[in-house]
Amino acid sequence: MIREIRLYGDAVLRRTAKPISDISEEVVRLAEDMTETMFARRGIGLAAPQVGESTSLAVVDLSLGDEKGRTLVLINPEVVGQEGEWTYEEGCLSIPEVRADVVRPKKVAVRFLDIDGNPHELEAEDLLARVILHEVDHLKGVLFVDRLPPLKRQILRPKLLKIAKGEIPSER
């Protein structure tokens, strides 16, 4: 089921997501719905708070759903290492019509559980590392615009306020 995307200004996006202690049917369904929603919106990552669930779950798929079986389901992801730095333009399904260059580590090591509860430690770099870091940020209530230099944030402020007021709809 495709779920509604919560937009900038929604309090759920600012909460710290709760760790998952039991991978219940509800969690499995949430992961499926999030994957479906991400594909429908042509996103490459989605975190549970973006669909209104303050729970530590994110999905990532750089193939946009074009390649089967590529979706990474991250339960309770934790960054355990990072290296380097690079700048790249980011956007977010929760912040329509806003894109900006964000500095992030080039490589990342992340620990997480998969949907079957198996623990993994994954090393990723470039775009995959970036998307994972963007989603882990969501689970801490952090949005990519928080990582911009103050001046850039100030320039975006009117647009962000418009989104918060519901004057800019979700991108289709």
Q: Least distance in Å: CB of 137 to Zn ion?
A: 8
Cβ nearer to Zn ion, comparing 17 with 92: 92
| Segment (H or E) for 103 | strand 100-104
- The answer to whether the CB of 111 falls within 8 A of the CB of 80 is yes
- The answer to whether the CB of 90 falls within 8 A of the CB of 99 is yes
Marked catalytic residue, from 25, 121, 135, 171: 135
Active site residue 135: yes
- The answer to whether the CB of 13 falls within 8 A of the CB of 138 is yes
Cβ nearer to Zn ion, comparing 14 with 23: 14
Residue number of the CB closest to Zn ion reads 92
Residues that bind Zn ion (CB under 5 A): 92
* Bridge partners, 59 (sequence order): 46, 73
Q: Least distance in Å: CB of 22 to Zn ion?
A: 26
In angstroms, the CA 154 to CA 145 distance is 10
In angstroms, the CA 43 to CA 61 distance is 8
Q: Least distance in Å: CB of 94 to Zn ion?
A: 5
Cβ nearer to Zn ion, comparing 13 with 113: 13
Closest among 119, 38, 45, 137 to 82, alpha carbons compared: 137
The residue type of 129 is A
In angstroms, the CA 17 to CA 139 distance is 5
Cβ nearer to Zn ion, comparing 92 with 124: 92
Q: Least distance in Å: CB of 138 to Zn ion?
A: 6
| Residues noted as catalytic | 135
